[in-house]
């Protein structure tokens, strides 16, 4: 027995000996260039996490502001760097005291840090107003030797029309800053999202990778020849990951334009919806895998690929794991792109829309199992809706296409589950690379997709069911004619067919404008309702269909039309490709006040962090909490009531031997929280701030 135990211990040491990365700092968005969202610190652990207390708070916003705080702070040595009112502020990481301020703020989600070998040159590298910008990390002064007095236009000297970066902060590899350029919009007339790399010291352009191939490049045969020169989309709006030991950058790309109709882009459309491994020094493609062929669902790859070492087939394998909006996790050999488990091309439903050629199969992984629900049927309708609204939803179901995952958009409406804001998204997955485990927060949210012809009748009013006299009685918040998501900027929904009770409009209001996507929204921006004609002259008969963004939420109380759980936290063991555990993540305040808990948070956007202390940390919006879960079984070990929503990634760091957890807090919560009808009403959010926790000093 002792001999076998010794063998197990030796094997455990061998399995993860290859992973020599450091995880004890937070010197980059998501913890570092590898996007792990993991900390090797373990002073705060399962035995003492209940003792956590707030040790300082730094306020960055006004009281009552509904603006979310999604910025993940950097911490280098004893200094924390945060974003405040269009500026970068350096704080004492132990007290929150301001040290200096640089006017000119970064993107919504994070920044990068770079230093030379002897640490004599230390820089903050960030995106500001579409420019790559660098400042001295010690003083906040601009770096005049970088580009034009400290900034570089990443779209300059391009061989085609491209945009400038937004919310994605890019990544650093050695002396290179790698940035992804967003598409110019979500309409048909959109720019491609090329990836470009620049010298950190000078700003000189080093390489470009074309996300949509130019004529003659690999993958050009997956697009119509006449369309290829003007094709748009395929941008990495969210996050990317650098594998520093292997010199590889992994880029998860989004869909091609238009998001919901591809009559102008017949074919697979590389490199849309693909994970692409690039040589970080040259930008040359090493391998790629396309997870959606000819995307019609806005199922862009929304989250950073995660790097781990696992035990597979009796040997150590360096892997990269890619979460998706549609609930599957794809796992590959990091160097070769070979799937760790078979991925099967599986037949999916056909399109019934004129001019569309939906791809007949989609690649479905055999392992691991899906982390999110992938269907919404009558039995799943939310039991907490008023009875009249439930009946309205049930009647409407009979008139929509609803054939499961990958049912194409239609003229009569298609139920999409998970919706294009569902599944995983930026910041919502983390790994423990020392154990081969991964943790994903899912948003269990359906969408209604309805294609609209130019000039078609626009929704002629809505049916408002009797919302009853229960605890949710009263006027819906943000609902009503003209306010539901069915009246969004993508174009109003068509009038319902005769005798068809339409689904209640979503109470979330109009979809955010396109810039909000770069700032972190998981959905699809806001093009004109009817894209301009003539921008595809090679296809003159092309019909410019549009589609509203219709999140399926209640008219009566603002809740999801689908029943719980509305969010789940899933733990994977990627050594075996199995789910270790899965638990509802968070609650809804309106129901928790009635004692109904364990149902999941609505539209969660809080980031997740894993620590060597055995904890999984994750925040929520609809019940405004930060929780610490037990890594081994998913039990909640600690929770703290926050004064506003938590929608960013916590930062874990240490100074002088003391471990800290910084939690971004601000706003009402994404999409549904402002519209939840509660009695009494949910208090207005406190000013946006960073709340920093630590154990009491001995």
Domain contains 598: yes
Whole-number Å distance between alpha carbons of 694 and 237: 34
Query: Residue 97's pLDDT is what?
Result: 98
Whether 619 and 693 share a structural domain: yes
Whether 384 and 519 share a structural domain: yes
Query: Residue 358's pLDDT is what?
Result: 98
Query: Residue 483's pLDDT is what?
Result: 26
Name 279's Cβ contacts closer than 8 Å, sequence gap at least 6: 247, 248, 286
Whether residue 678 has pLDDT greater than 80? no
Report which DSSP code applies to 225.
T
Among candidate residues 559, 592, 612, the one where a domain is terminated: 559
Whole-number Å distance between alpha carbons of 487 and 349: 28
Whole-number Å distance between alpha carbons of 629 and 616: 5
Query: Residue 21's pLDDT is what?
Result: 56
Whole-number Å distance between alpha carbons of 474 and 626: 30
The stretch 2-18 carries a mean pLDDT of: 44
Name 498's Cβ contacts closer than 8 Å, sequence gap at least 6: none
Whether 8 and 73 share a structural domain: yes
Report which DSSP code applies to 390.
H
Among candidate residues 559, 585, 618, the one where a domain is terminated: 559
pLDDT tens-digit readout, 544-555: 999 988 889 888
Name 100's Cβ contacts closer than 8 Å, sequence gap at least 6: 89, 90, 139, 140
Instruction: Answer whether 693's CB lies under 8 Å from 55's CB.
Output: yes
Instruction: Answer whether 176's CB lies under 8 Å from 200's CB.
Output: yes
Q: What's the token pair of residue 693?
A: 């926790």
Whether 63 and 31 share a structural domain: yes
Whether 405 and 520 share a structural domain: yes
Whether residue 324 has pLDDT greater than 90? yes
Share of the chain above pLDDT 70, in %: 84
Report which DSSP code applies to 222.
G
- Can you tell me which residue has the tokens 């040790």? 55
- Nearest CA to 170 among 85, 255, 107? 107
- Nearest CA to 196 among 204, 188, 184, 185? 204
Query: Residue 455's pLDDT is what?
Result: 80
Whether residue 428 has pLDDT greater than 80? yes
The stretch 238-242 carries a mean pLDDT of: 96
pLDDT tens-digit readout, 326-359: 999 999 999 999 999 999 999 999 999 999 999 9
Whole-number Å distance between alpha carbons of 588 and 594: 10
pLDDT tens-digit readout, 325-334: 999 999 999 9
Domain contains 348: no
Query: Residue 444's pLDDT is what?
Result: 94
Domain contains 98: no
Whether 579 and 549 share a structural domain: no
- Can you tell me which residue has the tokens 């916003």? 61
Domain contains 190: no
Domain contains 385: yes
- Can you tell me which residue has the tokens 């070769």? 336
247: preceding bond cis by omega (within 30 degrees) = no
Query: Residue 487's pLDDT is what?
Result: 29
Q: State the residue range of the domain holding 465.
A: 375-416+447-559
pLDDT tens-digit readout, 295-323: 999 999 999 999 999 999 999 999 999 99
pTM of the model: 0.89
The stretch 278-289 carries a mean pLDDT of: 98
The stretch 16-22 carries a mean pLDDT of: 52
Among candidate residues 538, 559, 580, the one where a domain is terminated: 559
Whether residue 489 has pLDDT greater than 60? no
Query: Residue 460's pLDDT is what?
Result: 35
pLDDT tens-digit readout, 494-521: 333 333 344 443 333 322 233 232 333 3
- Can you tell me which residue has the tokens 């919806």? 273
Whether residue 488 has pLDDT greater than 80? no
Number of domains in the chain: 2
Whole-number Å distance between alpha carbons of 4 and 65: 59
Whether 573 and 535 share a structural domain: no
The stretch 593-620 carries a mean pLDDT of: 94
Query: Residue 199's pLDDT is what?
Result: 98
Domain contains 103: no
- Confidence label for 82 from pLDDT (cuts 50, 70 and 90): very high
Domain contains 191: no
For the chain, the average pLDDT equals 86
Query: Residue 661's pLDDT is what?
Result: 98
Share of the chain above pLDDT 90, in %: 73
Whether 555 and 496 share a structural domain: yes
Whether 476 and 574 share a structural domain: no
Query: Residue 526's pLDDT is what?
Result: 33
Domain contains 668: yes
Report which DSSP code applies to 215.
T
pLDDT tens-digit readout, 24-63: 899 999 999 999 999 999 999 999 999 999 999 999 987 6
Whole-number Å distance between alpha carbons of 303 and 487: 28
Whether 437 and 547 share a structural domain: no
CATH at residue 605: 2.40.128.630
Q: Comparing 498 with 198, which gets the higher pLDDT?
A: 198
Instruction: Answer whether 61's CB lies under 8 Å from 666's CB.
Output: yes
- Confidence label for 671 from pLDDT (cuts 50, 70 and 90): low
> What DSSP line would sit under 276-291, residue for residue?
EEEETTT--EEEEEES
Query: Residue 556's pLDDT is what?
Result: 85
The stretch 129-133 carries a mean pLDDT of: 96
290: preceding bond cis by omega (within 30 degrees) = no
Query: Residue 589's pLDDT is what?
Result: 86
The stretch 233-246 carries a mean pLDDT of: 96
Whether 481 and 382 share a structural domain: yes
Whether 603 and 696 share a structural domain: yes
pLDDT tens-digit readout, 557-581: 888 999 999 999 999 999 999 999 9
Q: What's the token pair of residue 186?
A: 């979500």
């Amino acid at each position: 027995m002792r001999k076998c135990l010794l063998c197990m211990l030796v094997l455990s040491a061998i399995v993860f000996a290859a992973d020599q990365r450091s995880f004890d700092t937070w010197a980059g968005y998501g913890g570092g260039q590898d996007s792990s969202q993991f900390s090797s610190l373990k002073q705060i652990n399962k035995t003492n996490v209940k003792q956590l207390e707030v040790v300082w708070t730094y306020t960055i916003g006004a009281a009552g502001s509904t603006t979310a705080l999604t910025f993940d702070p950097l911490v280098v040595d004893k200094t924390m760097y945060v974003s405040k009112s269009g500026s970068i502020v350096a704080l004492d990481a132990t007290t929150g005291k301001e040290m200096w301020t640089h006017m000119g703020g970064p993107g919504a989600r994070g920044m990068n840090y770079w230093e030379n070998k002897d640490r004599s040159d230390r820089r903050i590298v960030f995106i500001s107003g579409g420019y790559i910008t660098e400042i001295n990390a010690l003083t906040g002064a601009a770096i005049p030797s970088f580009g034009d007095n400290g900034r570089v236009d990443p779209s300059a000297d391009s061989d085609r029309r491209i945009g400038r970066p937004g919310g994605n902060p890019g990544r650093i590899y050695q002396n290179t800053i790698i940035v992804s350029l967003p598409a110019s919009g979500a309409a048909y007339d959109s720019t491609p999202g090329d990836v470009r790399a620049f010298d950190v010291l000078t700003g000189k352009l080093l390489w470009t990778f074309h996300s949509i191939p130019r004529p003659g490049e690999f993958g050009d045969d997956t697009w119509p020849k006449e369309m290829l020169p003007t094709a748009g989309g395929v941008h990495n709006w969210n996050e990317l990951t650098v594998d520093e030991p292997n010199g590889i950058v992994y880029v998860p790309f989004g869909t091609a334009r238009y998001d919901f109709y591809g009559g102008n882009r017949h074919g697979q459309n590389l490199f849309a919806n693909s994970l692409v491994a690039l040589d970080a020094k040259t930008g040359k493609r090493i391998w790629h895998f396309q997870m959606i062929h000819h995307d019609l669902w806005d199922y862009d790859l929304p989250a950073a690929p995660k790097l781990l070492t696992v035990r597979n087939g009796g040997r150590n394998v360096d892997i990269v794991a890619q979460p998706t909006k549609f609930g599957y996790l794809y796992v590959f050999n990091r160097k070769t792109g070979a799937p760790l488990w078979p991925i099967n091309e599986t037949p999916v439903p056909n399109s019934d829309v004129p001019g569309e050629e939906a791809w007949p199969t989609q690649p479905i992984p055999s392992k691991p199992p899906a982390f999110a629900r992938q269907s919404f049927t009558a039995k799943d309708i939310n039991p907490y809706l008023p009875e009249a609204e439930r009946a309205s939803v049930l009647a409407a179901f009979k008139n929509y296409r609803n054939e499961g995952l990958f049912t194409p958009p239609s003229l009569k409406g298609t139920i999409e589950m998970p919706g294009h804001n569902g599944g995983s998204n930026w910041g919502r997955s983390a790994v423990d690379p020392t154990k081969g485990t991964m943790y994903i927060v899912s948003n269990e949210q359906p969408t209604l997709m309805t294609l609209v012809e130019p000039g078609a009748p626009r929704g002629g009013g809505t049916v408002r069911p009797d919302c009853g006299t229960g605890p949710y009685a009263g006027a819906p918040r943000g609902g009503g004619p003209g306010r539901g998501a069915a009246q969004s900027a993508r174009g109003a929904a068509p009038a319902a067919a005769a005798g068809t009770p339409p689904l209640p409009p979503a109470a979330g209001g109009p979809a955010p404008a396109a810039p909000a996507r770069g700032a972190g929204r998981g959905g699809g921006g806001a093009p004109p309702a009817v894209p301009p004609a003539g921008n595809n002259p090679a296809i003159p008969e092309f019909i410019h269909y549009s589609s509203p963004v219709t999140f399926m939420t209640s008219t009566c109380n603002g809740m999801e039309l689908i029943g719980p759980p509305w969010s789940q936290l899933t733990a994977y063991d990627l050594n075996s490709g199995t789910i270790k555990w899965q638990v509802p993540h968070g609650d809804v305040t309106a129901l928790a006040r009635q004692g109904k808990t364990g149902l999941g948070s609505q539209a969660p956007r809080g980031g997740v962090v894993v620590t060597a202390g055995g904890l999984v940390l994750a925040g929520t919006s609809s019940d405004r909490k930060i929780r610490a879960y037990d890594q081994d079984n998913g039990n909640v070990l600690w929770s703290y009531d926050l004064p506003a929503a938590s929608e960013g990634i916590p930062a874990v760091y240490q100074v002088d031997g003391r471990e800290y957890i910084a939690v971004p807090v601000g706003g009402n919560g994404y999409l549904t929280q402002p519209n939840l009808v509660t009695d009494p009403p949910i208090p207005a959010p406190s000013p946006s701030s960073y709340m920093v926790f630590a154990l009491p000093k001995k």
